[in-house]
Structure 1
Amino acid sequence: MAEFLELEAQDGVRMPWNVFPGTKQEATACVVPPAAIYTPLKPLDSSSGAEAPLLPYAPSAAASAAPSSTPLPSLIMPPRSGSAPSATNAITSLITMPLYPRIAYPPSSSASTQPSNISPPQRAQEEVGYLKSALAQAVELLPERSLVGFITFGTYVQVHELGFGHITKTYVFKGTKEVTKEQILEQMGFFSRKTRPLTGVIAGARDGLSAESIARFLVPASECEFVLNSVLEELQKDPWPVPTNERPSRCTSAALSLAASLLGICVPGSGARIMAFLGGPSTEGLGAIVSKILSEPIRSHKDLDKGSTPFYSKAVKFYEGLSKQLVHQGHVLDLFACALDQVGVAELKVAVERTGGIVVLAESFGHSVFKDSFRRVFQSSDFDLGLSFNGVFEVSCSKDVKVQGIIGPCASLEKKGPLCSETVVGQGNTSAWKMCGLDKKTSLCIFLILQRKMVQMQLVNPPVISFISNYRYQCCSYQHTDGQMRLRVTTLSRRWVAGPGCLQDLSSGFDQETAAVVMARLVSFNMETEAEFDAIRWLDRSLIRLCSRFGDYQKDNPSSFSFSPRLSIFPQFMFHLRRSQFVQVFNNSPDETAYFRMMMNRENVADSVVMIQPSLISYSFNLGPEPALLDVAAIAADRILLLDSYFTVVIFHGSTIAQWRNFGYQNQPEHQVFAQLLRAPREEAEGIIKERFPVPRLVICDQYGSQARFLLAKLNPSVTYNSDNPPAPGGDVIFTDDVSFQVFMDHLQRLSVQ
């Protein structure tokens, strides 16, 4: 797949079909839909960190890449009107720089500002101490000019006035009551020292609010550090008593709604983030996910399937409305869910995903998954997320290609036109989307549909697709500390093939990894949107159709079946996808499933493939680190295995290795080789953890230990408790009724040749 990786390094795009089927019928027969996974902010060269070349001139305003009704605002100042270049102008610019399929334009006017942050943490007993410590560190890492607000909530919502440093002042709102914008303006005294305008929209300093009133609640980090630390020191658990048979009162939805409205009043259209820290389930307001009665369990997947969830639909509807408000304002909702119980990630998913927010799921605010991940949001010395704001993404295609929609962290701008397909996948019926927040790894999956019905003898006009991204880039690298607007344009073309002999050409352009990721996003989306959707049957039928079309075989002769190397790994990806957490939800809560799917929907192809099919590395005395088959046969008593499943990194010691380690042989001078063997996988695991966000969980376990399940659950069960072939000496077995990959392939070949 080297050539596909080279293409991705050039233009940030990977496609399952890099040679397009010539007709709509042939595209349908290819099973995997034509699509593109695009990473707008992917560095031009991953090794050097270089970016797309910045042209020394602004684009001409031939047409607008963003809808005229959606101006692109600066970070703190009110939005400026103006139009962005069209796809035609972008292609003209590309001709002058043929080596760069991606280019970036400088801003037409500069604005040196920083994003604002407004953070409502959830308080919960001993977890409060961990959260207070993390927030105090974050305040020190914030850029000096970043505006900060602070909201706490439990039974009530408290908005802290950080601009009044002489004494602690808070405004209290009832958690069960929805607060309107007019009530916020009145109760929080925004016009106590100034006459309120009689007409017009009241939002921001330009529309009637004084800078003084805004500065009471959103204060530069350099000016509010002392006050905020004082508030954090006094922060305690909710003082209202909780009966032993009830859950604590948590008005999560009221706090988030008030935070969104406050940002909409003070800094509309500016790059801002709401960072929500949740330590338990919401039990108050429209966003409640469970009642206060402790004996009533929180909804499970079985409850969702049966429709016996009295709170779920109401909460999802509320957060859909909140997401529309945040998208309109250009603001991001980040979610840090840290609790042993569910907090409502499944309900909040729509708001977090459509605003391009960050999501971190951990067991505790004291866990390294939360602490290290949260620190990396603000640190940029070793790890730079490259956070950007207020992006507008637009697709422009040649006449034979239409857009079905996007699955990924964005929101539709409802820009309808001839490019929009009648069939919709994800967020469709538009050719433009809003990306309130994005980073260097944020990836969108654009589903395309081909419109050709008749094919000429010579396909001379290849399809052309342009991706136009207008965004504000805010990071700590020296190139973008000014927070200026950038426009990035990516244009690519692929050739058509048609006719009886096109299968070989299509196979040569098949990207197996990207195809697996496209199918994973599609099956996850269908599971969430279609009632009684059978994901396993859908995947199996799709794979059988693909094998029947592209396999080489004699009819009704399974032993004659063979696959081109270009497609040979795809069945293996599908086997592991069937067993993955995206399809199998039995052992996961709705919150965990929502978290896994959100992460896959925003990550690039390389990381998504690891989520589908984890990587396994073997360490032993005889051989250095080497890739191992993801199979139970890889387990041996004298071997160490390192599993990377993206969300979890597992170091697994064979029984003999574990015994030697327990005896302390690694501490003896004559056994330094053994000490190095123990260190090698740990160093590799630390390297993986250092470069990943959110930080994965590290599990160190031994063969036959309780935590060995983290490894065994991901392995191919070639040896089970009822297998005819016994495990190798020092090996292991898996207690499962799942079929092995070999049995899966035997059935696949038998059905494909029919």
Structure 2
Amino acid sequence: AADPSAAAAPADPDGPDAVRFTWNAWPRSKVEASRCVVPLAVAISPVRSPESLASPPLPYPPLRCKPPCSALLNPFARVDFAAKIWICPLCFSRNHFPPHYAGISENNVPAELFTQCSTVEYLVAGPPGSPAPLPPVFLFVIDTCVIEEELEYVKLSMRKAVALLPEHALVGLVTFGTQVHLHELGFSELSKIYVFRGSKEISKEQILDQLGLSGGGRPGFPKMTQQPGVQQVNGMHPLVTTGVNRFLLPVSECECTLSTLLDELQPDQWPVEAGNRAIRCTGVALNVAAGLLGACVPGTGARIIALLGGPCTEGPGVIVSKDLSEPVRSHKDLDKDAAPHFQKAVKFYDGLAKQLVSQGHVLDVFASALDQVGLAEMKLAIERTGGLVVLSESFGHSVFKDSFKRIFEGGEHSLGLSFNGTFEINCSKDIKVQGVIGPCTSLEKKGALCADTIVGQGNTTAWKMCGLDRNTSLTVFFDVSPSERSGQPGHQNPDLYIQFVTSYQHPEGQMRIRATTVSRKWVDGSTNTE
């Protein structure tokens, strides 16, 4: 079987590429691979701190191998400088360099061919006349079914967070209790709110109709006409003015309005009968938030930041009834399938997760309560979008305050929160991808590189990562599937190659592509002992 000591591991287990193999030498045969107690896997941090890169981001698009391989040019490629041809190390296809590489020579090599540049990052520029970099979007969803003291803690943290945001960042505000209130920040003359009933599930189309963001407008209001051009928001990405300028505004334009709204915010006024829980419609609030972002900024990086103070007791996503005599479901109830609301709530959040993934948006949850808030039901929506979860006893607790502040901090303390990413894998033909474990969702890109055995999210070579940061890590599982030709003398390549390609929206707004290409040795099982 393969021996981890057969190839020396780097001093830093992850190395400059932020990649760690379970085995630094891989068996050639499927039989030998099956004898490995530890599976063939790779842990990778797709967007680790850019300081670890050997070169600054490259200001031109990457050069790709011909389909179906589509691997990016990398230091392991064999280059014929005279014929201006490069051979892909993964599929051995011959590719011609395009005209703008005409000056390439042994003494004039592009950065992506430098030996030390096994990880490179490209700046993806749009065509001439394309919009400026996209602003980050933060939509705050605040639970008002809390006591006044807790709400004051929330207001204080919100003010600090807004002060830390870059001036061009877009922000929006949703508050909820018995009903959902969507605040129109663009109407600064007075407080203008759209109210949604919390007891009823509402579709995305109904949300857009009520907000006047659909083609038909709202009953009794003039039909909204889509303007032939779209206006730039603060010099940023062109977005439909009627939606964005009403509900999502740059911090520089709405800081005063937002501060006034926070000052006026009160605990939910709906009366709570003795022996009952507060009427809290968490599911409808998150549904409205997702619908708004889907209408205003689809395909643009955005985060829904939910501040929850208790369990959902009304509408879709309910986890417990209003009656205090009914306890919140326990692990024992879930094991026995005795939680009456669980499956229905999971189904609701599964649908919400699919909607958020298709839009490229993230759900973060800050739960500050002594009671449960329903994270078991929300798990799918948070995990699949790469969201963050923080649990604390109170909004005044340092765990909440410090964690909430950390999201918005810049400089050396920044988490490097990135958005709207896609993670792809290319590898040598004798290697198959079993799947990925981590905060991502399958894009169902099936092909010859997919293994029959599935681990985690498999049967694909591409995954969506709505939210990722410098500490985000994925584990990829592989299988060995040698072809007949690769086992013949003269056709055995001593090296295997794997390439990870991550496309994502940088915190500064630009779209970037980071490619990491790594190589390890094949070993013959007959010459090694277990």
TM-score, normalising length from structure 2? 0.83
Whether the 8 Å CA contact 1:161–1:169 is kept in 2: the answer is yes
Q: Percent identity?
A: 52
Q: Given the alignment of the two structures, is residue 151 of structure 1 paired with residue 170 of structure 2, yes or no?
A: no
Q: Given the alignment of the two structures, is residue 187 of structure 1 paired with residue 210 of structure 2, yes or no?
A: yes
Residue in 2 aligned with 1:468? 501
Task: Please give the alpha-carbon distance, in whole angstroms, between the structure 1 residues aligned to 2:206 and 2:258.
Answer: 25
Whether the 8 Å CA contact 2:73–2:113 is kept in 1: the answer is no
Q: Given the alignment of the two structures, is residue 280 of structure 1 paired with residue 310 of structure 2, yes or no?
A: yes
Task: Please give the alpha-carbon distance, in whole angstroms, between the structure 2 residues aligned to 1:194 and 1:4.
Answer: 66
Higher alpha-carbon Rg: 1
Q: Given the alignment of the two structures, is residue 489 of structure 1 paired with residue 512 of structure 2, yes or no?
A: no
Q: 1:30 to 1:62 in 2, by over 3 A?
A: closer
Task: Please give the alpha-carbon distance, in whole angstroms, between the structure 2 residues aligned to 1:63 and 1:291.
Answer: 58
Structure 1 counterpart SS, 2:324: coil
Task: Please give the alpha-carbon distance, in whole angstroms, between the structure 1 residues aligned to 2:59 and 2:35.
Answer: 46
Task: Please give the alpha-carbon distance, in whole angstroms, between the structure 1 residues aligned to 2:136 and 2:462.
Answer: 24
Structure 1 counterpart SS, 2:413: coil
Residue in 1 aligned with 2:153? 130
Whether the 8 Å CA contact 1:11–1:490 is kept in 2: the answer is yes
Letter in 2 for 1:266: C
Residue in 1 aligned with 2:96? none
Whether the 8 Å CA contact 1:25–1:453 is kept in 2: the answer is no
Residue in 1 aligned with 2:358? 328
Residue in 1 aligned with 2:22? 16
Q: 1:99 to 1:169 in 2, by over 3 A?
A: same
Residue in 2 aligned with 1:6? 12
Whether the 8 Å CA contact 1:43–1:52 is kept in 2: the answer is no
Correspondence for 2:58 among 51, 55, 60:
55
Letter in 1 for 2:161: A
Whether the 8 Å CA contact 1:103–1:490 is kept in 2: the answer is yes
Task: Please give the alpha-carbon distance, in whole angstroms, between the structure 1 residues aligned to 2:54 and 2:371.
Answer: 42
Structure 2 counterpart SS, 1:216: helix
Q: C-alpha displacement at 1:286, in angstroms?
A: 2.0
Correspondence for 1:121 among 133, 142, 147:
142
Whether the 8 Å CA contact 2:437–2:456 is kept in 1: the answer is yes
Task: Please give the alpha-carbon distance, in whole angstroms, between the structure 2 residues aligned to 1:212 and 1:286.
Answer: 29
Task: Please give the alpha-carbon distance, in whole angstroms, between the structure 1 residues aligned to 2:152 and 2:303.
Answer: 23
Correspondence for 1:166 among 186, 189, 193:
189
Tell me which of the two structures has the higher relative contact order, counting C-alpha pairs closer than 8 angstroms and 6 or more residues apart: 2
Q: C-alpha displacement at 1:13, in angstroms?
A: 0.5
Q: C-alpha displacement at 1:162, in angstroms?
A: 0.9
Whether the 8 Å CA contact 1:4–1:14 is kept in 2: the answer is no
Residue in 2 aligned with 1:98? 115
Q: Given the alignment of the two structures, is residue 292 of structure 1 paired with residue 325 of structure 2, yes or no?
A: no
Consecutive unaligned residues of structure 2, counting only runs of 5 or more, are 78-109
Q: 1:117 to 1:373 in 2, by over 3 A?
A: same
Q: 1:63 to 1:221 in 2, by over 3 A?
A: farther
Q: 1:452 to 1:64 in 2, by over 3 A?
A: closer
Q: Given the alignment of the two structures, is residue 441 of structure 1 paired with residue 478 of structure 2, yes or no?
A: no
Q: 1:51 to 1:437 in 2, by over 3 A?
A: farther
Residue in 1 aligned with 2:31? 25
Report the structure, 1 or 2, having the larger strand content: 2
Task: Please give the alpha-carbon distance, in whole angstroms, between the structure 1 residues aligned to 2:66 and 2:416.
Answer: 28
Q: Given the alignment of the two structures, is residue 41 of structure 1 paired with residue 63 of structure 2, yes or no?
A: no
Report the structure, 1 or 2, having the larger helix content: 1
Q: C-alpha displacement at 1:379, in angstroms?
A: 1.2
Q: C-alpha displacement at 1:181, in angstroms?
A: 2.9
Residue in 2 aligned with 1:499? 525
- Residues 427-463 of structure 1, C-alpha deviations (whole Å, 9 max, x = no match): 1111001111111110111111111388567853422
Task: Please give the alpha-carbon distance, in whole angstroms, between the structure 2 residues aligned to 1:3 and 1:209.
Answer: 49
Residue in 1 aligned with 2:386? 356
Residue in 1 aligned with 2:241? 211
TM-score, normalising length from structure 1? 0.59
Residue in 1 aligned with 2:93? none
Whether the 8 Å CA contact 2:430–2:483 is kept in 1: the answer is no
Q: C-alpha displacement at 1:393, in angstroms?
A: 0.7
Task: Please give the alpha-carbon distance, in whole angstroms, between the structure 2 residues aligned to 1:402 and 1:172.
Answer: 51
Q: C-alpha displacement at 1:494, in angstroms?
A: 1.3
Task: Please give the alpha-carbon distance, in whole angstroms, between the structure 2 residues aligned to 1:249 and 1:179.
Answer: 17
Whether the 8 Å CA contact 2:138–2:305 is kept in 1: the answer is yes
Q: 1:60 to 1:19 in 2, by over 3 A?
A: closer
Q: 1:154 to 1:382 in 2, by over 3 A?
A: same
Residue in 1 aligned with 2:90? none
Q: C-alpha displacement at 1:88, in angstroms?
A: 4.5
Q: C-alpha displacement at 1:44, in angstroms?
A: 6.0
Correspondence for 2:460 among 430, 452, 455:
430
Q: 1:101 to 1:292 in 2, by over 3 A?
A: same
Whether the 8 Å CA contact 1:323–1:354 is kept in 2: the answer is yes
- Count the aligned residue pairs: 474
Q: C-alpha displacement at 1:398, in angstroms?
A: 1.0
Residue in 2 aligned with 1:319? 349
Letter in 2 for 1:89: L
Q: 1:95 to 1:331 in 2, by over 3 A?
A: closer
Consecutive unaligned residues of structure 1, counting only runs of 5 or more, are 66-84, 475-480, 504-549, 551-754
Q: C-alpha displacement at 1:408, in angstroms?
A: 0.4
Q: C-alpha displacement at 1:17, in angstroms?
A: 1.0
Task: Please give the alpha-carbon distance, in whole angstroms, between the structure 1 residues aligned to 2:243 and 2:158.
Answer: 25
Whether the 8 Å CA contact 2:65–2:71 is kept in 1: the answer is no
Q: C-alpha displacement at 1:50, in angstroms?
A: 5.4
Residue in 2 aligned with 1:412? 442
Task: Please give the alpha-carbon distance, in whole angstroms, between the structure 2 residues aligned to 1:43 and 1:137.
Answer: 25
Structure 1 counterpart SS, 2:349: helix
Whether the 8 Å CA contact 2:424–2:461 is kept in 1: the answer is yes
